[in-house]
Amino acid sequence: MATTTPSILESIFLKRSQQKRKTSPLNYKKRLFVLTEAKITYYEYDFERGRRGSKKGSVDLEKVVCVESVEPEENPPPERQIPNREDSADTEQITIIERFPYPFQIVYEDGPLYVFAPTEELRKRWIHQLKHITRYNSDVAQKYHPRFHQDGQYLCCAQTAKNALGCQLLQGANGIRTNERSQRRSRKPLPPAPTESQAKASKPLPPAPTSPVTSVGPRKVIAMYDFTPMNAQDLLLQKGEEYLLMEESSGQPWLRARDKNGQEGFIPGNYVTEAQDPLEIYEWYSKNTTRTQAEQLLRTEDKEGGFIVRDSSKAGKYTVSVYAKSSGEGIIRHYVVCEAPGNQYYLAEKHLHTSIPELIRYHQHNAAGLISRLKYPVCSVRRAAPSTAGLGYGSWEIDPKDLTFLKELGDGQFGVVKYGKWRGQHEVAIKMIKEGSMSEDEFIEEAKCMMKLSHQNLVQLYGVCTKQRPIFIITEYLSNGCLLSYLKEVRKKVAQGDLLSMCSDVCAAMTYLESKQYLHRDLAARNCLVAEDGTVKVSDFGLSRYVLDDEYTSSLGSKFPVRWSPPEVILYSKFSSKSDVWSYGVMMWEVFTLGKMPYERFNNSEIANQITRGVRLYRPQMATERIYNVMSSCWEEKPDDRPTFRGLHSGILEIMEDM
C-alpha cells in the first residue's frame, strides 16, 4: 500500500487547461487541488458525494520557479467575475463553489499553470504556502509575467514562448529576501550548470544567483555604519546607503565597492550587509545585548514603553524587551519575534508583518498584546562602529609619524604599552616591543595573517611599524584595560549575569578563532581587555609563539602559564583548540572568583602534579552548579572529551536566557 503524505492545503479551484498541444482547447475545470510538501496534485471532484475522484495531474514542487497572482482578465465570464453587491446575497457556500475570480500562476518547466481561487484570502494563503515550500529551489525566478499567456502570447509583454523570461521584477525573488537566499541550505544538490546551448534551448533563464560560487555582476550591500576613508584607496560609507560590490571577495576584511555616484574604493567588509533592510541602521537594535544587559538598560532609563530589540539566544531569532510601569513598579517582558510561513513576523498577537522594522513600526503605535506600546527606543551606549581590519585598505605598515603618544597603559612581556592617536583622531594602543623580547621577523610575517582576523570580541590588530627600532604593534584601544584588574576593581558591584556575559564575549571570540583553526595558546583573564561599554575582547592571540624568553616558553619556566594549561600541554607541549578550551575554563573561573589566582596555594610544579592526578579548581561562590558544569567540562582529562567553543557558547547563551 502506498503511504500518503499529509496534505497541507486542499481547495477547490478552477484550473485552466495548459494546452500542451497547440490544438487542445482552452477550457476551465473545477478540480480539487491538494498541496503536500513535495507536490501539488489535482483531482476530479465528485460534488454530489463530496469525494475526491481520479487524479488528473500534478506538479513537482522542486521544479517550481515562481508563484504569483495574475492580473484579472479584461472581460471574464460570470464564472470568473468578482461578484457585485447584488450577488453577495449568494451564500458563502455558493460563492465558493460557483465563482473563481482570483487567478494565480504556478510557473515550472512547462510554463505557467493558471489556477483560479474563489476568494482573495484563499489565493493569498496558497501563494504564501507555495512560496514558503519552494523558497530554496535552485531556480527561483527574479521576474515574472503579471498577465496571462493567451492566444499564443503574453498579454503583458507579447512574448510568445510560454517559458519566456518574465518581464516584471518580483519583490524579492519568489518573495524571499536575498540575504535569506544566500544563506540557504539547498534541499537537494544543485544541478550541474547547463552548457550555453542548453541554457538557450529551453526553460526560463536561471535567476541572477546570489551565492559566491556562481555570482555574476555586482552585489548590492547597505552600510550599517558611517566610515571615513583612512587612505586614498578607501571609499566613504554613509549609514543606510546602498553600495555595489565590485568583485567577489567574501570573507575578505576589505571589499572593493562603488557608491551611487560611481565613486569606487575599498570599504571594511564588516561595515556593510546584504540584508535589504538591516536592523543595524535602527536606533532600537542592539545586536549583542544580553537579556540581563537589556534589563539593566531599561531599568536605568526607567521610561514607560522603553524597548530594545536584540538577538535572541536562539540563533537567527530576535527578542523585543519592553519596560512598563505598573503602580510605580517597573516590569520587563521579553517577546521573541515569531515567524509565520511566507516570511512574516509577529509578536504577542498574530498581526503579521513582512519585516521586523515594519513590525516594530506597527507596535510603536499599537500595544496589541504587549505590556506597553513601543514608545521609547533605548540604546546600548552610543553604538560604536566596529574596528576595521587595519587603518585603511592594505595598510598594515603604519607610518610612526602618524602616531601621537598620549599616556602609558602598562608594562607587559614585550615592554611598555602606550595609548595614543593615529592621525590625531583614531584611538590606538601601541606596544613598543623591547629589543630582544620577540622574534621580530617571524612575527612581522605572521602579522599579515593576524590582520585578517576580525571579530567584535577580538582586540583588532591595526598594523605594525617595523622600519625603526623598537618596532611597534598597533591595536585597537580598550578604555577599561585588562580584564583581570577590571574584575578586581568591580568586586561587589557586579551581578552574575554580567560575569556570564563577559564569559560569553570571550567564548564568541574563541569560537571565531576555532573556526579559523587559529590557536590562542595563552588565554587567561590577563590577556582579555574591557571596552568602554563593558564588552570583553580577547587580546594577544598567537603572540606567545614569538616570545624570546625561556622562563615563559618552557613549561618548566617560572613564567609559563601552568595554571591555565591542560596536562597534554604541561607534559608534551601539545597545543590545540582543546587546550585553548581548558584555558578558557580557567579564565571562566577567574571571572567568577572576581580575579583570584587559580590554585592559589600551590606552586607551578605542585600544580602539574595535582592536575595530572585529577585535581580540579573548586566551584566559585558566584557560580551556580550549571555554570560550574560548563567550566568543569573544559577540564576533561582527554582533549577530545572537552566541548568545542561553539558548543560552550550555546550552553552559556542558554543559561543567560534562563536567568
Q: 296-303: long-range contacts at Cβ-Cβ below 8 A with a sequence spacing of 24 or more?
A: 297/378, 297/380, 298/322, 298/323, 298/330, 298/332, 298/378, 299/323, 299/330, 299/332, 301/376, 301/378, 302/330, 303/375, 303/376, 303/378
Q: Is 540 in the site for Mg ion (CB under 5 A)?
A: yes
Report whether 113 contacts 103 (CB < 8 A): no
Closest residue to ligand ADP, based on beta-carbon distance = 412
Minimal distance, residue 345 CB to Mg ion, in Å: 44
* Cell numbers representing residue 231 in the block: 587612505
- Crossing angle of helices 577-592 and 483-490, in 10° steps, is 20
Strand order across the 403-412 sheet: 403-412, 415-422, 426-432, 472-476, 461-465
Segment interacting with Mg ion, rule: CB under 5 A, options 323-331, 373-381, 384-392, 525-533: 525-533
Least distance (Å) between residue 482 CB and ligand ADP: 4
- Work out how close the CB of 580 gets to ligand ADP at its nearest, in angstroms, rounded to a whole number: 17
- Element (H or E) spanning 413, and its range? none
**Residue 481 binds ligand ADP (CB under 6 A):** yes
The Cα–Cα gap between 58 and 129 comes to: 17
Cis peptide before 6 (omega within 30 of 0): no
Q: Give the binding range for ligand ADP (CB under 6 A) out of 196-204, 275-283, 410-418, 633-641.
A: 410-418
The phi-psi region of residue 316 (left if phi > 0; otherwise alpha if psi is between -120 and 50; otherwise beta) is: left
Shortest Å, Cβ 529 to Mg ion: 9
> One-letter amino acid identity for 372?
S
Q: Which does 414 bind (CB under 5 to 8 A by kind): Mg ion, ligand ADP, none?
A: ligand ADP
Residue 542: contacted member of ligand ADP, Mg ion, none (CB under 5 to 8 Å, by partner type) = none
Any contact of residue 453 with ligand ADP (CB under 6 A)? no
Nearer to Mg ion by C-beta: 106 or 483?
483
Of residues 366 through 395, those in contact with ligand ADP by CB under 6 A are: none
Task: Say if CB 653 and CB 504 are below 8 A apart.
Answer: yes
Among 113, 308, 356, 459, binds ligand ADP (CB under 6 A): 459
Report d(CA 574, CA 107) in Å as an integer: 58
Contact window for ligand ADP (CB under 6 A) among 7-15, 133-141, 207-215, 470-478: 470-478
Residue 570 near which of ligand ADP, Mg ion, none (CB within 5-8 Å, type-dependent): none
Residue 347 near ligand ADP by CB under 6 A: no
The phi and psi torsions of 476 (rounded to 5 degrees) equal -55, 145
475 binds, among Mg ion, ligand ADP, none (CB under 5 to 8 A by kind): ligand ADP
Q: How many CA atoms lie within 13 A of 125 on its CB side?
A: 11
Helix (H, G, I), strand (E, B) or coil at 518: coil
| Of the candidate residues 527, 544, 565, 579, the single one contacting Mg ion (CB under 5 A) | 527
428 Cβ contact list (under 8 Å, min separation 6): 403, 419, 420, 421, 422, 462, 474, 475, 476, 477
Contact region with Mg ion (CB under 5 A), list: 230-238, 367-375, 442-450, 538-546: 538-546
Give which of 206, 221, 212 is closest to 163, Cα–Cα: 206
Q: Is 321 in the site for Mg ion (CB under 5 A)?
A: no
Number of residues that this document lists for the chain: 659
Contact between 280 and Mg ion (CB under 5 A)? no
Phi, psi of 502 (to 5 degrees): -60, -45
Residue 459 or 623 with smaller CB distance to ligand ADP:
459
CB of 345 to ligand ADP, least distance (A): 40
Among 412, 470, 557, 651, binds ligand ADP (CB under 6 A): 412
429 binds ligand ADP (CB under 6 A): yes
Which C-beta is closer to ligand ADP: that of 280 or that of 540?
A: 540
Q: Of the candidates 478, 499, 588, 653, which one interacts with ligand ADP according to CB under 6 A?
A: 478
Q: Work out whether 482 is an interface residue with Mg ion (CB under 5 A).
A: no
Is 76 a binding residue for ligand ADP by CB under 6 A? The answer is no
Instruction: Provide the CA 640 distance to its chain's centre, in angstroms.
Output: 29
522 in active site: yes
What is the Cα–Cα distance from 124 to 434, expressed in whole angstroms? 70
User: Least distance (Å) from ligand ADP to the CB of residue 438?
Assistant: 9
Nearer to Mg ion, 224 or 450 (CB): 450
Question: For the chain, what is the radius of gyration of the CA atoms?
Answer: 31
Distance (Å, whole) CA 360 – CA 335: 12
Q: Residue 357 is placed in which grid cell?
A: 522594522
**List 144, 477, 518, 546, residue binding ligand ADP (CB under 6 A):** 477
387 binds Mg ion (CB under 5 A): no
Q: Please report how close the Cβ of residue 534 comes to ligand ADP at its closest, in angstroms.
A: 14
**Is the CB of 274 or the CB of 476 nearer to ligand ADP?**
476
Catalytic residue from among 259, 311, 522, 580: 522
Residue 394 binding partner per list Mg ion, ligand ADP, none, with a CB distance cut-off of 5 to 8 Å that depends on partner kind = none
In sequence order, which ranges of 45-194 are alpha helices (DSSP H)? Answer: 92-98, 120-133, 178-182
Tell whether residue 438 is a contact of ligand ADP (CB under 6 A).
no
Q: Would you say 115 or 474 has its CB closer to ligand ADP?
A: 474
Residue 634 touches ligand ADP, criterion: CB under 6 A: no
Q: What is the DSSP letter of 645?
A: H
Query: At its nearest, how many Å lie between ligand ADP and the CB of residue 542?
Result: 12
- CA nearest neighbour of 596 among 491, 495, 510: 491
* Whether 476 contacts 459, CB under 8 Å: yes
Q: Please give the Cα distance from 52 to 31 (Å, whole number).
A: 9
In angstroms, what is the minimal distance from the CB of 539 to Mg ion?
6
Out of 42, 100, 271, 414, the residue judged to bind ligand ADP by CB under 6 A? 414
Task: Identify which of 77, 238, 82, 214 has the alpha carbon closest to the alpha carbon of residue 139.
Answer: 214
How many binding residues for Mg ion (CB under 5 A)? 3
Give the Cα separation of 130 and 144 in Å (integer): 16
Which of Mg ion, ligand ADP, none has residue 225 at its interface (CB below 5 to 8 Å by kind)?
none
431 is in an annotated binding site: yes
542 binds ligand ADP (CB under 6 A): no
Closest contact distance (angstroms) between CB of 412 and Mg ion is 5
Binding of residue 532 to ligand ADP (CB under 6 A) = no
Stretch that binds Mg ion, among 135-143, 263-271, 380-388, 523-531 (CB under 5 A): 523-531
Binding-site members are 431
Active site residues: 522
Binding site for ligand ADP (CB under 6 A): 409-410, 412-414, 417, 429, 431, 459, 475-478, 481-482, 529, 539-540
Binding-site members for ATP are 431
Binding site for Mg ion (CB under 5 A): 412, 527, 540
